[in-house]
Amino acid sequence: MTNNTTIPTLLDASSVGRGSSNPFVVQYQTRDPTSSDVQYPIQKIWLNTTTNNFWFLKNFTTSNGVLSANWIFFSYGNALGFDVDAHTDPGTDPVIFSPSGLITVTGGQVAAGTTTHVLQTDSVAANEYTIEIQRSQAVASPTVGDNGVSHYDSAHFSVDSTGYVQLLGGGQAIDSVNVDAHTSPGTNPVLPAIDGSITVTGGQVAAGTTTHVIRTDSLAVNTYTIEVQRSQAVASSTVGDNGVCHFSSSQFGVDSNGFVTSIIPSFTSVHVQTFTPAGSYTYTPTSGMKYCTVQVQGAGGGGGASGTQEAGSGSGGGAGGYCIGLYPAASVGSSTAVIVGAGGATGTTTLSGVTGGTSSFGSLQSATGGVGAEAANNSGVIYNYFGGSGGTATGGYLQCGGAAGDDSCFYNNVGTGNFSHCGNGGDSFFGGGGESAASGSGTAGGNGAAPGAGGGGGSNSGSGGTAGGSGADGVVIVTEYVL
């Protein structure tokens, strides 16, 4: 502030102190300057020793012949300087002005835990003080004195309302991961890499490797693998035998909840419908039939007769073909035509055996009958007669040809005796080919003993022809799986 005072003609010399080197006068009084407080030279400072306020004489002005002094007011408070939080010699508290009227202010930082303030003022040199920032520290139980200044990555940290840095989401930082197993250079626990990352990979192990279906395994530094154990087939199930397996889509499916289900459902009963003897039939599925297997057997061929020649011998008839198939109910429909072939009749005297009839299950499966055997009706020294060939089959998932009938022969050696051999009937899928007659017995061959089997050849004793055996009828067998 400025105080303009009128210059008096007299000054109390007893209150004056004068500098020796400069025209500079400091007056020490218990009061502020008045109109009577003017003294030459012009440079002047006035100190009120009660209030510790300084007055500086700025200049003189003249108005209407009156000379006035212009004073400027300045206060240092109760001391000539600034109080600070701390000081270390040669620093002082308060910090006082240098002879040139300056106080130096610097910035700095101190170690965590040095002060109870985040900021403090500290004098470590004369006429100087430092504004210090305390560095932060990690402590178990934060207090005000633990506050400090720190830098942090905003992608991983935040600052709460009290100014404390914390992990995004809060909680404790993860510094390692324990695993079930490890193999060098893997470790347990797994430690982060320099950048703070731990690599997690996926893998699988052989069945029986671990007692867990899933385990964690460290095979490399800063890395662990989540391993899935493959399943295995064992006689007695245990927890350690669990694993992950693959399955055939032709037999299994997966529902909306991820559970594996069988597309071949459990059945409450199994029904068998057998169609025999020879003839035409209609198959009607049992209510609730889900799947069925169908076996079709063609009829057997007839055995050959011995003929009328001396020591004649008949050959065997061929067996019918066979096939089997598996069908869902939709493929069979509400009904299906079934034909069962008739067994071939035997040949008599000079006739060959008759070929067996064809059996079928709709258009899905068919099996032809075995061929009838050749008749033995020639004279001469040596003759061979061929057995009938087996039938064939189509459709289903398995087809088998019928076995051929055995060949026959005779040897007529005039004057020394005769020799003959009759042929057996061919076996079907169910076996049972008809047995041939004994050589020279004059008896008929045996009939086919199982569905689709061929008849055996007959034998001539020299007194006339003998018939062979008849082929067996075919058969159709439907096995139903009912829900």
If we measure between CA atoms, which residue out of 117, 121, 108, 111 comes closest to residue 163? 117
- Is pTM beyond 0.75? Reply is no
In a domain, 95, yes or no: no
Residue 187 sits in the same domain as residue 318: no
What's the rounded Cα separation, in Å, for the pair 383 and 387?
A: 13
Residue 277 sits in the same domain as residue 395: yes
> How many domains, in total, are found in the chain?
3
| Segment 334-346, tens digit of pLDDT | 999 999 999 999 8
Residue 218 sits in the same domain as residue 323: no
- The per-residue DSSP string of 274-335 comes to EE-SSEEEEE-PPTTEEEEEEEEEPPPPPPPP--SSTT-BPPPPPPPPEEEEEEEHHHH-S-
In a domain, 324, yes or no: yes
Report the sign of the C-alpha dihedral through residues 188, 193, 196, 197, in that order.
negative
Residue 421 sits in the same domain as residue 293: yes
Residue 331 sits in the same domain as residue 225: no
In a domain, 474, yes or no: yes
Q: Which residue in the block uniquely carries the two structure tokens 């899933």?
A: 214
In the prediction, which pLDDT does 84 show?
80
Residue 284 corresponds to which tokens in the numbers above? Answer: 């009607």
- Pick the most confident of 189-193, 357-361, 416-420: 357-361
Domain boundary among 47, 75, 103: 75
Do residues 179 and 188 lie in contact, with contact meaning Cβ atoms separated by under 8 Å? yes
In a domain, 112, yes or no: no
In a domain, 176, yes or no: no
Average pLDDT, the chain: 80
Residue 313 sits in the same domain as residue 397: yes
Do residues 445 and 303 lie in contact, with contact meaning Cβ atoms separated by under 8 Å? yes
User: Domain range spanning residue 297?
Assistant: 266-483
Domain boundary among 56, 75, 94: 75
Residue 189 sits in the same domain as residue 283: no
- Pick the most confident of 224-228, 233-237, 299-303, 420-424: 299-303
- Pick the most confident of 35-39, 200-204, 279-283: 279-283
Residue 215 sits in the same domain as residue 296: no
What's the rounded Cα separation, in Å, for the pair 285 and 478?
A: 9
In the prediction, which pLDDT does 350 show?
62
| pLDDT bracket for residue 396 (50, 70, 90) | very high
Residue 224 sits in the same domain as residue 350: no
If we measure between CA atoms, which residue out of 163, 166, 112 comes closest to residue 136? 112
In the prediction, which pLDDT does 481 show?
94
- Pick the most confident of 11-25, 357-371, 448-462: 357-371
CA 464 to chain centre: 83
Residue 199 sits in the same domain as residue 332: no
In a domain, 166, yes or no: no
Domain boundary among 40, 75, 110: 75
